Chains A and B, each alone.
Chain A
């Protein structure tokens, strides 16, 4: 009888679940995109990431290390519009435009690495705390409390300062600071989702714990984490630039915070460009991710539920 039904089954049946998922994804994307500020944010992000990806094409990479600012000691503190230096140079003869473009690359690296590590570690810690509960939960969450009780900038600063000035250390320091938020969000989500009757329903049909976590808990718990990750993409660059500005990056690296710091001495003398352009980049980066993050929250957060 099963065979008879089988022959009559549409051939594309196995694909349909994926198609449905795709349709749902497109629906969600459409409702995210219905917000004009989100589109603006996405447009800025596209330009910035485009800059980061195409940096070697737009500018001639510096040899041997393209992440080091090229120095032209013959053209120190040139104003914007100088031939060869459309946005001027710094006091040390660094090309501001080069720094802005390669700075996008550094920022992308920084934010993706930090957010990736933080979301993964925080997600795992939060899942364990919320899933196992009891004493394990208690211990992990007190640890999180300790981390949260120190202001993030000062904490990151302390770690980076102890490890010594280097861009890698900034990445490490920020990862240490940022994972706690994810752990908190994840734990709260897991506990909330676990109270849903469909978790009981899954247990009732004989699902294993791992399967329930993978199919019932995680997909329903993940959206606030995604929103947080998007917001943090901007936040991380902001704090990273601050640390670089203070001088915790290695000197001479093509990074926006470093450029702002190089240029700030000249502001009083009227050489505004070396600080302003990279500063603008940090602003745009943080703004764009915040706009998109907020737009995503509006659509995905059940508390502001409208379309679902």
Chain B
């Protein structure tokens, strides 16, 4: 069984928001793939829909006012490698994970999995219970501001422990050496025990086993924290978030996110709230962990230089669309879309003289009920007549490099604007 090249595919994703002035098309027909083990950088300015796209993977969009107006996000979850039980072996490429077998056909290939034999799910169509099992286990997310993303009333240890309690209760009970079938202990190890049950567990016949579970949990948490190069994790576990520095908090978030060895990590501007020096170290940490575990990463950022350092491929987003996607080298060496060029030119460097900051003229268009046209028309220096009435689709210009712009391919005869979207 060979691993499919893509871990997730976003197809024609549309996320709209109901507002007083009309329907805001925040994400309007986005297509891209995330390849297994790669880091895909998603860049764009504030409000272009990059965060919404990232959040759609985990269905974190507040509904209402949000509406998933169309499209799908297919995802191929992995399972623990049967040959090495997660330790890492040649068969799974030292990742400890292999693609999960399609439950519908048992790996023979069927319509549900597109003939690949591996489990394929549409994240947007999953039931609440199933998406909950994927969250934190197969797909994890780290947020922009680690200060806000940690619960101020729980200790670090308690918060990291939650991931294990949610997704690894069987392993936890095994590590603690308690009988897996015990009803109360099982509820305790999966964080489902209510107050009366907890009281019962604090009493002698069960108390010893409960403490064994807690100790095993502490070991798991300490190991997860140590993985993100946190010195003295045991001491840190008893601290509250406000007692930690920003960089340390983000390490905790990363530890929590990677605790269950996920297949995909969605990093939503994880270093924006940090100092530049801390930023570099966190970036290095994500890169290092990603290399070691071969986790795929969707790295969302507005910072081009940062994305250049971390990504294998880059997707540039503008006004709810992907305008250009390609390998990092291609995009930075040979940007094709006028917007990408503008963005790259706007990055100040030491070589540019004082007072000569470049900017893209105009402002981001309103995304309320947009008309079929290129979203960049009006700000674009190369605008032609077609740009105002047709919607450019993403089309390849070089190997693994696609652009949605009429400079590179004319609108097809009879092409209807609303159908002018093809998978990149």
> B150 an interface residue at 8 Å Cβ cutoff?
yes
**Per-residue interface assignment for chain B, residues 283 to 306, with 1 indicating a CB less than 8 Å from any chain A CB and 0 otherwise:** 000000000000000000000000
Contact residue among B145, B162, B214 (Cβ-Cβ distance under 8 Å from A14)? B214
Find out whether the CB atom of B166 lies under 8 angstroms from the CB atom of A201.
no
> B32 an interface residue at 8 Å Cβ cutoff?
no
Q: How far is the CB of B110 from chain A (nearest CB, A)?
A: 28
> A206 an interface residue at 8 Å Cβ cutoff?
yes
**Per-residue interface assignment for chain A, residues 13 to 53, with 1 indicating a CB less than 8 Å from any chain B CB and 0 otherwise:** 11011011000100000000000000000000000000000
* B141 contacts across to A, CB distance below 8 A: 201, 204
A47–B257 Cα distance when bound, in Å, is 52
**Per-residue interface assignment for chain B, residues 134 to 153, with 1 indicating a CB less than 8 Å from any chain A CB and 0 otherwise:** 11110011011100111111
Q: How far is the CB of A213 from chain B (nearest CB, A)?
A: 12
Segment with Cβ contacts to B, from A119-127, A192-200, A230-238 = A192-200
A59–B58 Cα distance when bound, in Å, is 67
A198-B157 contact in complex given A13-B215, A203-B60, C-beta closer than 8 Å: no
Find out whether the CB atom of B218 lies under 8 angstroms from the CB atom of A206.
no
| Residues from 189 to 243 in B contacting A, C-beta threshold 8 Å | 191, 210-211, 214-216, 218-220, 222-223, 234, 237-240, 242
> B163 an interface residue at 8 Å Cβ cutoff?
yes
* B166 contacts across to A, CB distance below 8 A: 205-207
Find out whether the CB atom of A6 lies under 8 angstroms from the CB atom of B143.
no
> A208 an interface residue at 8 Å Cβ cutoff?
yes
* A202 contacts across to B, CB distance below 8 A: 151, 162
Residue among B137, B144, B210, B238 facing the most chain A CB atoms (10 A cut-off): B238
Q: How far is the CB of B151 from chain A (nearest CB, A)?
A: 5
> B126 an interface residue at 8 Å Cβ cutoff?
no
A207–B253 Cα distance when bound, in Å, is 15
* B148 contacts across to A, CB distance below 8 A: 196-198
Q: How far is the CB of A134 from chain B (nearest CB, A)?
A: 8
> Which size bracket describes the interface of B in this complex?
35 or more
Measured CB to CB, the nearest residue on chain B to A216 is B151
A198-B150 contact in complex given A9-B218, A204-B141, A205-B140, C-beta closer than 8 Å: yes
Find out whether the CB atom of A205 lies under 8 angstroms from the CB atom of B256.
yes
> B16 an interface residue at 8 Å Cβ cutoff?
no
* A197 contacts across to B, CB distance below 8 A: 143-145, 148-149
* A3 contacts across to B, CB distance below 8 A: 175
Find out whether the CB atom of A201 lies under 8 angstroms from the CB atom of B253.
yes
Measured CB to CB, the nearest residue on chain A to B195 is A214
Find out whether the CB atom of A2 lies under 8 angstroms from the CB atom of B214.
no
> B45 an interface residue at 8 Å Cβ cutoff?
no
Contact residue among B154, B175, B234 (Cβ-Cβ distance under 8 Å from A2)? B175
Find out whether the CB atom of A20 lies under 8 angstroms from the CB atom of B155.
yes
Find out whether the CB atom of A2 lies under 8 angstroms from the CB atom of B216.
yes
A220-B216 contact in complex given A2-B175, A202-B162, C-beta closer than 8 Å: no
Find out whether the CB atom of A206 lies under 8 angstroms from the CB atom of B135.
yes
**Per-residue interface assignment for chain B, residues 54 to 95, with 1 indicating a CB less than 8 Å from any chain A CB and 0 otherwise:** 000010100010000000000000000000000000000000
Find out whether the CB atom of A2 lies under 8 angstroms from the CB atom of B143.
no
> Which size bracket describes the interface of A in this complex?
20 to 34
> B330 an interface residue at 8 Å Cβ cutoff?
no
A198–B249 Cα distance when bound, in Å, is 12
* A109 contacts across to B, CB distance below 8 A: none
Find out whether the CB atom of A198 lies under 8 angstroms from the CB atom of B215.
no
Q: How far is the CB of B325 from chain A (nearest CB, A)?
A: 25
Find out whether the CB atom of A206 lies under 8 angstroms from the CB atom of B145.
no
Find out whether the CB atom of B223 lies under 8 angstroms from the CB atom of A215.
no
* B234 contacts across to A, CB distance below 8 A: 10
Q: How far is the CB of A205 from chain B (nearest CB, A)?
A: 3
Measured CB to CB, the nearest residue on chain A to B214 is A14
Q: How far is the CB of B326 from chain A (nearest CB, A)?
A: 29
Find out whether the CB atom of A5 lies under 8 angstroms from the CB atom of B151.
no
Find out whether the CB atom of A5 lies under 8 angstroms from the CB atom of B223.
yes
Find out whether the CB atom of A219 lies under 8 angstroms from the CB atom of B214.
no
Contact residue among B64, B163, B219, B238 (Cβ-Cβ distance under 8 Å from A205)? B163
A306–B151 Cα distance when bound, in Å, is 19
Q: How far is the CB of A166 from chain B (nearest CB, A)?
A: 35
Q: How far is the CB of A199 from chain B (nearest CB, A)?
A: 8
Find out whether the CB atom of A6 lies under 8 angstroms from the CB atom of B215.
yes
> B158 an interface residue at 8 Å Cβ cutoff?
yes
* B218 contacts across to A, CB distance below 8 A: 9, 13-14
Find out whether the CB atom of A5 lies under 8 angstroms from the CB atom of B143.
no
Q: How far is the CB of A202 from chain B (nearest CB, A)?
A: 7
Q: How far is the CB of B188 from chain A (nearest CB, A)?
A: 12
> A82 an interface residue at 8 Å Cβ cutoff?
no
* A204 contacts across to B, CB distance below 8 A: 58, 60, 135-136, 140-141, 257
A283–B14 Cα distance when bound, in Å, is 63
Find out whether the CB atom of B157 lies under 8 angstroms from the CB atom of A17.
yes
A3–B171 Cα distance when bound, in Å, is 12
Residue among A197, A198, A200 facing the most chain B CB atoms (10 A cut-off): A198
Find out whether the CB atom of A20 lies under 8 angstroms from the CB atom of B238.
yes
> B132 an interface residue at 8 Å Cβ cutoff?
yes
What are 19 A-B pairs at a CB distance below 8 A? A5-B223, A13-B218, A14-B215, A17-B157, A134-B64, A197-B144, A200-B143, A200-B149, A201-B151, A202-B162, A205-B135, A205-B163, A206-B133, A206-B134, A206-B135, A206-B136, A206-B163, A211-B191, A216-B151
Q: A interface vs B, CB < 8 Å?
A: 2-3, 5-6, 9-10, 13-14, 16-17, 19-20, 24, 134, 196-198, 200-208, 211, 215-216, 219-220, 308
Supply 19 further A-B pairs (C-beta < 8 A) apart from A196-B148, A198-B148.
A14-B215, A19-B238, A20-B155, A134-B64, A197-B148, A197-B149, A198-B150, A201-B141, A201-B150, A201-B253, A203-B135, A204-B135, A204-B140, A204-B141, A205-B162, A206-B132, A206-B137, A208-B132, A219-B154
